[in-house]
């Protein structure tokens, strides 16, 4: 008895994976942006040198607008309900000039809080001159002198803040160098410190060019920048160390190529980290300084915003090129780069004869056994055979 044949099994078609997005943003997200950061490091060094030159010229020609805490002076505080910011500044400026022709108003800003007021800073003045200014402002703004606050600030306090900040900066750099030497190597420490110096110089250059006032809060913000910048640099260097581990034992890529791959792999992460850090700082700057009128928040937010933006740039486009330039001076890495280049030239040389033989066979008129031109199919078969033979010899 013949059984009923079992139905043939039908293979379930496997759905092909969706094609990867090929846009630049998609490649950036996957770490495949293909930026040649290391190969164009001379251009990037030129950009850094231009920034340094502009900064030095600005430091020498314009200098810095030091706040009252650094050079000393007198502060006058006027209730916001009595006048406007321009009105308070104008009234105090006229009174100061009348008392001392050599004195002037340094800055004016609005202070928020439950009792908004205007803070006007002037050149240093004596107690008698301060009293005379308050009396003149009282007549101009029709405001009781008791509602006009005053405060004399000594430059010694700002100098003390500067000295302690520089001491803190020195201790910070010593600890950073020690950590990087232990965790990585001294070349990475040099590259990281160079990147931190670039961030500080860039932030200082922006302050000098724009004329923003430098206060103790600015110095504190600059020290805060260094922590963020160091974190970003260490993350990139850790990926470089991972990609270049045992690089001399393989001839597939040079140290510079492996470092450049690490930069592309970490590029999206650095951008995301920078955006996450800059958004709250921007909110602090806009809300605190713009809406609430808090001068302390403005001084801190400005330097953080500028410095963090510079840190994101330098960790990718400055620290890594400096590191590669230092590493490629090592004899073993230079010899490894020559081996990689030699292997690639040999591969190109082996490819060239095989391709030439295949092309010659395809172009030559094939002959049959009787001496007549072979049919087109025979010529094609012979061409394919010649190509296969060439590939066999190559192997």
Instruction: Indicate whether 4 belongs to any domain.
Output: no
> Considering the domain boundaries, does residue 209 fall inside one?
yes
**Among 334, 354, 371, which residue terminates a domain?**
334
Q: How many domains does the chain have?
A: 2
Per-residue pLDDT of the chain (395 residues; tens, 9 = 90+): 455 555 555 555 555 555 555 555 565 555 566 778 888 999 999 999 999 999 999 999 988 888 777 888 889 999 988 888 888 889 999 999 988 888 888 888 887 767 788 888 888 888 888 899 998 998 888 888 888 888 888 777 767 777 887 888 888 889 888 988 898 899 999 999 999 999 999 999 988 888 877 887 788 888 888 888 888 899 999 999 999 998 888 888 899 999 999 999 888 888 888 888 888 888 877 776 666 555 567 777 888 888 898 998 998 899 999 999 999 999 999 998 898 888 888 888 877 665 555 555 455 554 443 444 545 444 444 444 444 444 444 44
Range of the domain at 201: 30-36+157-334
Q: What is the pTM of this model?
A: 0.71
Of the candidates 308, 334, 360, which is a domain's last residue? 334
316 with 228, same domain: the answer is: yes
- For 358, residues 6+ apart whose C-beta sits below 8 A from its C-beta are 383, 386, 387, 390
Specify the pairing of strand 105-111 against strand 117-122: antiparallel
The count of C-alpha atoms lying within 13 angstroms of the C-alpha of 308, restricted to the half-sphere facing its C-beta, is 22
Place of tokens 């406007």: 84
Q: Is 59 helix (H, G, I), strand (E, B) or coil?
A: helix
Burial of 209 (0-12, 13-18, 19+ CB in 10 A): middle
CATH label of the domain that carries residue 228: 1.20.1640.10
Please report whether residue 226 resides in a domain. yes
313 within 8 A of 267, measured Cβ to Cβ: no
| Residue 48 belongs to some domain of the structure | no
């Amino acid at each position: 008895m013949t059984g009923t044949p079992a139905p043939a099994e039908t293979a379930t078609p496997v759905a092909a994976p969706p094609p990867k997005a090929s846009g630049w943003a998609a490649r950036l997200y996957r770490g495949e942006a293909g930026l040649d950061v290391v190969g164009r490091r001379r251009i990037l060094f030129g950009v850094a040198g231009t920034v340094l030159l502009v900064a030095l010229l600005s430091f020498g020609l314009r200098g810095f607008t030091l706040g009252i805490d650094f050079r000393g002076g007198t502060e006058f505080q006027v209730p916001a309900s009595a006048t406007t910011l321009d009105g308070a500044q104008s009234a105090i400026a006229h009174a100061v000039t009348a008392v001392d022709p050599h004195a002037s108003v340094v800055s004016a800003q609005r202070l928020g809080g439950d009792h908004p007021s205007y803070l006007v800073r002037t050149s240093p003045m004596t107690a008698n001159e301060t009293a005379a200014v308050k009396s003149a402002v009282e007549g101009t703004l029709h405001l009781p002198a008791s509602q006009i606050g005053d405060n004399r600030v000594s430059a010694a306090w700002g100098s003390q803040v500067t000295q302690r900040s520089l001491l803190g900066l020195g201790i910070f750099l010593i600890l950073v160098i020690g950590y990087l030497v232990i965790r990585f190597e001294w070349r990475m420490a040099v590259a990281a410190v160079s990147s931190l110096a670039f961030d500080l110089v860039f932030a200082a250059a922006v302050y000098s060019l724009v004329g923003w006032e430098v206060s103790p809060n600015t110095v504190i913000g600059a020290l805060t920048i260094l922590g963020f910048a160091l974190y970003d640099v260490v993350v990139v260097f850790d990926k470089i160390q991972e990609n270049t581990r045992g690089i001399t034992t393989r001839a597939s890529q040079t140290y510079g190529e492996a470092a450049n791959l690490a930069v592309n792999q970490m590029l999206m992460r650095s951008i995301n980290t920078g955006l996450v850090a800059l958004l709250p700082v921007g909110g602090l700057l806009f809300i605190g300084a713009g809406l609430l009128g808090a001068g302390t928040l403005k001084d801190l937010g400005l330097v953080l915003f500028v410095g963090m933006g510079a840190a994101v740039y330098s960790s990718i486009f400055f620290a890594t090129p400096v590191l590669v330039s230092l590493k490629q001076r090592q004899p073993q890495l230079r010899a490894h780069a020559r081996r990689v280049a030699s292997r690639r030239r040999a591969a190109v040389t082996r490819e060239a004869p095989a391709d030439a033989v295949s092309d010659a066979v395809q172009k030559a008129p094939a002959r049959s056994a009787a001496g007549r031109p072979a049919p087109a199919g025979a010529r094609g078969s012979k061409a394919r055979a010649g190509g296969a033979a060439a590939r066999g010899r190559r192997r």
